[in-house]
Each structure stands twice: as C-alpha cells, then as structure tokens.
C-alpha cells in the first residue's frame, strides 16, 4: 500500500517513481543503520507503541470489540507521543504537541463511527458488524463522511500532516520523528503501516455487507487520499482541530440524532 501510494504520488508529479516494494527496502535499510538517540528511553516508547499497534491489529482481525480496538490504538499513539517528548528536541517537542492535537481532532469521528455501527447492529463486536446483512454506509452516510474527512490525519497526509510529513514542505523538518533514527525510525514506519490498515479496515466495515464492495471501497478511498495528499496544502493546527470537530458535530452527531428518531 505504501509503495502504491508513492507510485501514485510520482505519477501525479510527472515522475516514474520507485518500485512498489521500496518501503520494504527502506525499512530493511533502516534496521541496518546505527541508532542514534538523545535519550535511550525514547526508543522504548516507540517499541511499546509498535507492540500495542500489532496487538490492536490482531484484535481487529480477530473480530473483537471495536471500542477496545479504538482505545488500544489511541494508547499506541500516546506512547509514540511520549517518545517524541522524551527526545527533548524543539522540533520533536512541537511535533509531539501537534500529534496530541491530531489525536484530539480525529477521535470524535472515530468514536461516532463505532456508536453509529452499534445503533444499526446492536453490538460493538467487529465480527457482528462484519456479518451484518444491512449496508451500513446508507444509514451512516453522515458519519462515513465525517470519518473520511479525518482519515488524512490517520494516514498522515495533507492537509492534516501536522506533526510529521513524508514531504519536505513544513517548518518542523520531520517534526515528532526528527530525533529518531535507525531501528526506531523503521519501527515508526511499521507502526504507520498498521495504523493505515486499521483506518481502512473501518472503511471496510461500512461496506462489509458485500466483501468485494468493501475491498473496492477501501481501495478507492486510499486512492482518493493519495490524490488529496498531492492536491492540498497543509493547514494550521487550529484549522485542523476546529474543522474536524465541526464536521463531526454536524455530520456525525446529526446522523446519530436522525437514527435515534428513526428507531422510535
């Protein structure tokens, strides 16, 4: 997925681009490099974050409770933020602060997605949601749109790539990841892969009444996010926070209110 994303970006910029396996080559190369640290404990937080996100992905694949998955994923992000703060660099410190803002920005829409699915299926269990014979994207259209709005935050793409960026276009250099190198940086990249899978997995749940439709929807959304990433400039953190909450309030909460009236 990361390789395809880079390929799409290259094509949009008139380049051929690297192999779709380049992200794997990059991570393997990082594991071979020397790991330089400001404080040794900063890498332990990244390791805990990686363990938690792998555990969270396992819960999601196993069909566990969706709320548990969301909370475990948030805890993984918090450990990552703690690692950024521990590095004691002005760039990583500001990047960590922005990462916290991003977490506060996307959490309402993610939680509303779980609440909306519960209102339709009467369960937070992912397997129950997956086997639901009703197309969730129709009654949860507002929540789905709110989730799509904040999805670039989870995928670390413009216009919401505030704390760190795959592109050299921001004043924080690499933000929260500035003081990480070698194996720690490789683990951070793997964490991002797992987070992307879970984020798109929630998209799949909206369309899971038909597996092929769900896979197509998740793929189409990922392609759309790549287009958005290369089409919009990064916004300020104030704009990201206020717009995310406003969209969640209008579309997400509005959708919940409509569902509550229809269920009576």
Q: What is the mean pLDDT of residues 68-95?
A: 89
Reduce the DSSP state of residue 231 to 3 states and report it.
Answer: coil
**pLDDT for the residue 173:** 66
Q: pLDDT averaged over the chain?
A: 89
Task: Say if residue 168's pLDDT is above 80.
Answer: no
Burial 109-132 (b: 16+ CB within 10 A, else e): bbbbbbbbbbbbbeebbbebbbeb
pLDDT in tens, 173-220: 677 888 888 898 899 999 999 999 999 999 999 998 888 999 999 999
Task: Say if residue 53's pLDDT is above 70.
Answer: yes
**pLDDT for the residue 260:** 87
Domain interval for residue 152 = 2-262
Contacts of 132 (CB under 8 A, 6+ apart): 120, 121, 208, 209
In the chain, count of helices (H) and strands (E)?
11, 0
Q: What is the mean pLDDT of residues 1-11?
A: 90
**pLDDT for the residue 264:** 64
103-107, 129-133, 166-170 — most confident range: 103-107
pLDDT in tens, 90-101: 888 888 999 999
pLDDT grade for 247, boundaries at 50, 70 and 90: very high
Task: Say if residue 171's pLDDT is above 60.
Answer: no
Reduce the DSSP state of residue 135 to 3 states and report it.
Answer: coil
Number of domains in the chain: 1
Q: What is the mean pLDDT of residues 121-133?
A: 91
**pLDDT for the residue 93:** 86
**pLDDT for the residue 250:** 94
The answer to whether the CB of 234 falls within 8 A of the CB of 159 is yes
**pLDDT for the residue 234:** 83
Q: What is the mean pLDDT of residues 99-126?
A: 93
Phi, psi of 125 (to 5 degrees): -70, 125
Orientation of helix 90-121 relative to helix 237-247, angle to 10°: 10
Contacts of 36 (CB under 8 A, 6+ apart): 181, 182
Task: Say if residue 110's pLDDT is above 90.
Answer: yes
């Amino acid at each position: 997925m990361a390789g395809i994303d880079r390929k799409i970006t290259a094509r949009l910029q008139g380049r051929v681009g690297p192999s779709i396996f380049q992200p794997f080559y990059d991570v393997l190369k990082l594991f071979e490099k020397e790991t330089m640290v400001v404080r040794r404990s900063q890498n332990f937080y990244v390791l805990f974050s990686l363990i938690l996100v792998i555990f969270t992905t396992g819960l999601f694949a196993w069909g566990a409770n969706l709320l548990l998955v969301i909370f475990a994923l948030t805890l993984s992000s918090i450990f990552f933020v703690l690692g950024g703060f521990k590095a004691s660099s002005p760039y990583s410190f500001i990047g960590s602060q922005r990462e916290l803002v991003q977490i506060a920005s996307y959490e309402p829409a993610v939680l509303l997605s779980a609440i909306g699915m519960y209102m339709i299926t009467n369960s937070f269990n992912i397997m129950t949601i997956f086997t639901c014979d009703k197309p969730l994207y129709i009654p949860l259209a507002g929540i789905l749109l709110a989730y799509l709005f904040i999805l670039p935050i989870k995928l670390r793409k413009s216009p919401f790539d505030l704390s760190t960026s795959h592109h050299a276009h921001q004043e924080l250099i690499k933000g929260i990841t500035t003081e990480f190198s070698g194996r720690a940086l490789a683990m951070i990249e793997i964490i991002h892969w797992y987070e992307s899978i879970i984020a798109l997995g929630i998209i799949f749940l909206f369309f899971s009444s038909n597996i092929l439709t769900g896979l197509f929807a998740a793929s189409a959304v990922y392609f759309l996010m790549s287009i958005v990433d290369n089409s919009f400039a990064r916004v300020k953190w104030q704009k990201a926070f206020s717009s995310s909450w406003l969209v969640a309030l209008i579309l997400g909460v509005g959708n919940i209110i409509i569902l509550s009236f229809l269920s009576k």
